[in-house]
């Protein structure tokens, strides 16, 4: 019993409880339904019994009326025609009701089946009934045929002799009906008491086996949950106190490291060419496991020995002076890759140095250049001019972007890091007041460095895009541009799209949307820009609407050498990379709508 009385949350089987509760409710519903059906049935039977008793009493009155009319007819012949008609009607009603009582009637709802006692009484009363009917019929016939009155008086006497016996036996029939009706009422009362008792029993068993155990289990479960909550709160508080100091000390470094790992292709290399650390983005590009040790940088870049020799030679000769240039390598998929590689010597301590290698993947640019050359050899003049313009714009944009990033890093982050280094070296711990001031300055300088790194990395590749996908990055883009330009730039995700797409597709969608918004800001003089994203089963659609001055798409298409014409051309070229389509609808002085449809 002790083991059985122990209740744990595991025993709280809600499915079983639901079944038991449903069974109890169904049982109660069935009992209530049966009781109602039984009550209605008995009420109908009582109504029939009342009608039977009423008609039986009326039958006695009709027999007395019949005898009275016979006596009047045989003693007073002043109104013979009317009396014969009244007698005939009374006889007809009396016979009909008596036959209905004895044999049953559907129209009067009289039962055809009767008890043994009633059948016996009806068989005893039948001779008297038949004598009265026969005598009355003969009287009516005699008066109609004008037979002697002495014969009618004899018949009247016969009716009177049977009338008393008929009334006595009819009283017995009525009494028997009342007895049987009382038995039915008693049976109904007892049945209803039984149904009530069964219902109360079901309710009691439901309380005993369902509600009471469930209440105990729930109370125990709540008690354990409250206890667990207290322990969890205490553990969370202790953990928070312990981790707060550590979190504050590494938070800034973690943010800086995250930005570098996910945005820059960089690697730290020892003077002998071995890898000290490689960035996450760089390792993914090269398909290299960063946890593999004892690898040289040349072995990480390419599996081909002749290419490794060239890279080792560059590192060996330029580790003091540094180097910047483009190299052509073959990756592990046997694909050609072009890198714009910079080697920067870094002094860690006295007589201890390492090399910081920063790369840019320029493979696509090289492919574009080769494509231009291929078109050049095929003598396609129109396409050649177009591709030359595109290639020059790509190169120019990439060079401008690289120069801008290099300048930002050199003029901004580089100088602040140099200042941070000198400030750290100049701290004199003996002078606590100046040390505290310098530490506050270093904190502000660190925040500026982090802000600069975040700005540079956002321009290169927004973290929202790689971390959360296209929806979050577009929302971030519109918010940031709205803050920077002061224009109303809104983003709506109309169909709650939350899927992640291929990284190439996401970056192209991002750049296309960014280009469309920038064009609306730069050329359209718009004040309101709305970016809407929606999707179906196979298509992702992005719509950019502005209320700017608009333009004539046909006229702009003809001006391929203009900046606006090249912008539209770049959109069409970029959307083709991801098998998408662009639709440009613009009316002068009424605004512009650009729609990108991308298969998903």
CA distance 421 to 415: 10
CA distance 203 to 6: 25
- DSSP string covering 281-337, please? HHHHHHT--TT--S-BHHHHH-S-HHHHHHHHHHHHHHTTT-EEEEEEEE-TTS-EE
Cβ atoms of 492 and 453 closer than 8 Å: no
Reported residue count of the chain is 600
264-365 maps to CATH 3.40.50.720? no
Predicted TM-score (pTM) of this structure: 0.33
Cβ atoms of 155 and 139 closer than 8 Å: yes
CA distance 492 to 345: 48
Residue 349 neighbours by CB under 8 Å, 6+ apart? none
Cβ atoms of 338 and 366 closer than 8 Å: yes
Residue 469 neighbours by CB under 8 Å, 6+ apart? 498, 499, 500, 501, 506
Tell whether the torsion through CA atoms of 45, 51, 56 and 59 is positive or negative: negative
Q: Residue 5, Cβ neighbours under 10 Å: how many?
A: 8
CA distance 187 to 168: 29
Q: Return the DSSP state at 408.
A: I
Nearest CA to 480 out of 508, 443, 510, 450 is that of 510
Nearest CA to 314 out of 300, 324, 305, 329 is that of 324
CA distance 81 to 89: 13
Q: Return the DSSP state at 537.
A: S
Cβ atoms of 143 and 84 closer than 8 Å: yes
Give 3-state DSSP helix, strand, coil % of the chain, rounded to 5.
70, 15, 15
Q: What is the pLDDT of residue 489?
A: 94
Cβ atoms of 294 and 270 closer than 8 Å: no
Residue 523 neighbours by CB under 8 Å, 6+ apart? 548, 551, 564
Cβ atoms of 466 and 473 closer than 8 Å: no
Cβ atoms of 532 and 543 closer than 8 Å: yes
- Integer CA distances (angstroms), 205 to 7, 67, 200, 210, 576, in order: 20, 66, 9, 8, 73
In CATH, the number for domain 463-599 is 3.30.565.10
Distance between terminal CA atoms of the chain?
A: 63
Reading the chain (600 residues) residue by residue, the pLDDT tens digits are 344 444 444 444 667 767 777 877 787 788 778 777 877 777 766 666 676 777 777 777 877 777 777 777 777 666 677 777 887 888 888 888 888 777 776 666 677 777 788 788 888 888 888 888 888 888 777 765 555 567 777 777 888 878 878 888 888 887 887 887 788 778 778 877 887 887 788 778 878 877 787 778 788 888 888 888 888 888 888 888 877 776 665 566 566 566 666 667 878 888 888 888 888 888 888 888 777 667 888 888 888 889 889 888 988 888 888 898 888 888 888 888 898 888 888 887 777 888 888 888 888 888 888 887 887 777 566 655 655 565 555 555 555 555 656 666 656 666 667 777 767 777 777 777 777 777 787 788 787 777 666 655 555 667 788 888 999 999 998 998 888 788 999 999 999 999 999 988 999 999 899 989 988 988 888 899 999 999 999 999 999 999 999 888 877 776 655 555 567 777 888 898 899 999 999 988 889 999 999 998
Each as own residue / partner, the long-range contacts of residues 482-491 (CB below 8 Å, 24 or more positions apart, any chain) are 485/521, 487/521, 487/526, 487/527, 487/528, 487/529, 488/527, 488/528, 488/529, 489/517, 489/529, 489/530, 489/531, 490/528, 490/529, 490/530, 490/531, 491/531, 491/532, 491/533
Q: What is the pLDDT of residue 398?
A: 54
Phi and psi at residue 33, to the nearest 5°? -65, -45
Q: At what angle do helices 470-485 and 503-522 cross, to 10 degrees?
A: 20
2-226 maps to CATH 1.20.120.1730? yes
Task: Find residue 535's DSSP bridge partners.
Answer: 540
Nearest CA to 507 out of 557, 563, 463, 570 is that of 463
Give me 499's structure tokens. Answer: 């899927």
């Amino acid at each position: 019993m002790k083991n059985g009385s122990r209740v744990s949350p595991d025993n709280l089987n809600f499915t079983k409880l639901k079944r038991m509760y449903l069974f109890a409710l169904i049982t109660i519903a069935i009992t209530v339904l049966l009781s109602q059906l039984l009550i209605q049935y008995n009420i109908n039977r009582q109504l029939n019994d009342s009608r039977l008793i009423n008609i039986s009493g009326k039958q006695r009155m009709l027999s007395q009326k019949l005898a009275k009319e016979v006596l009047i007819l045989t003693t007073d012949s002043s109104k013979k025609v009317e009396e014969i008609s009244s007698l005939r009607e009374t006889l007809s009603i009396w016979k009909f009701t008596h036959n209905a009582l004895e044999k049953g009637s559907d129209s009067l709802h009289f039962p055809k089946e009767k008890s043994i006692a009633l059948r016996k009484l009806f068989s005893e009363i039948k001779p008297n009934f038949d004598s009265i009917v026969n005598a009355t019929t003969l009287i009516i016939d005699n008066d109609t045929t004008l037979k002697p009155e002495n014969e009618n008086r004899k018949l009247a006497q016969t009716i009177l002799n049977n009338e008393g016996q008929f009334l006595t036996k009819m009283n017995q029939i009525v009494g028997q009906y009342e007895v049987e009706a009382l038995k039915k009422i008693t049976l109904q009362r007892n049945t209803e008491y039984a149904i009530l008792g069964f219902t109360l029993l079901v309710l009691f068993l439901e309380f005993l086996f369902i509600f009471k155990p469930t209440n105990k289990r729930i109370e125990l479960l709540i008690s354990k949950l409250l206890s667990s909550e207290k322990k969890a709160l205490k553990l969370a508080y202790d953990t928070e106190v312990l981790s707060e100091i550590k979190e504050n000390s590494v938070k800034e470094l973690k943010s800086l490291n995250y930005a570098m790992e996910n945005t820059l292709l960089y690697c730290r290399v020892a003077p002998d060419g071995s890898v000290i650390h490689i960035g996450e983005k760089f390792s993914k590009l090269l398909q290299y496991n960063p946890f593999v040790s004892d690898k040289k940088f040349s072995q990480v870049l390419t599996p081909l020995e002749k290419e490794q020799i060239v890279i080792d030679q560059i590192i060996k000769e330029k580790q003091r002076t540094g180097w910047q240039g483009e190299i052509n390598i073959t990756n592990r998929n046997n694909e050609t890759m072009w890198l714009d590689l910079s080697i920067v010597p870094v002094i860690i301590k006295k007589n201890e140095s390492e090399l910081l290698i920063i790369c840019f993947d320029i493979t696509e640019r090289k492919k574009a250049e080769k494509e231009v050359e291929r078109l050049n050899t095929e003598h396609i003049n129109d396409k050649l001019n177009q591709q030359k313009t595109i290639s020059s714009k790509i190169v120019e944009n990439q060079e401008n972007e690289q120069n801008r990033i290099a300048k930002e890093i050199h003029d901004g982050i580089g100088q602040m890091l140099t200042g941070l280094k000198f400030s750290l070296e100049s701290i004199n711990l003996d002078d606590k007041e100046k040390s505290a001031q310098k530490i506050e300055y270093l904190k502000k300088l660190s925040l500026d460095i982090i802000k600069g790194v975040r700005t540079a990395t956002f321009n290169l590749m927004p973290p929202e895009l790689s971390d959360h996908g296209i929806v979050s990055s577009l929302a971030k883009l519109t918010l940031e541009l709205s803050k920077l330009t002061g224009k109303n730039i809104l983003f709506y995700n109309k169909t709650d799209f939350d899927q992640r797409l291929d990284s190439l597709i996401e970056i192209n969608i991002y750049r296309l949307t960014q280009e469309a918004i920038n064009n609306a800001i730069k050329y359209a003089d718009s004040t309101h820009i709305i970016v809407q994203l929606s999707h179906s089963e196979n298509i992702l659609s992005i719509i950019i609407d502005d209320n700017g001055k608009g333009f004539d798409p046909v006229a702009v298409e003809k001006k391929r050498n203009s900046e606006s014409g090249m912008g539209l051309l770049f959109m069409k070229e970029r959307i083709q990379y991801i098998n998408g389509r662009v639709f440009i609808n613009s009316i002068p002085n009424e605004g512009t709508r650009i729609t990108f449809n991308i298969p998903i």
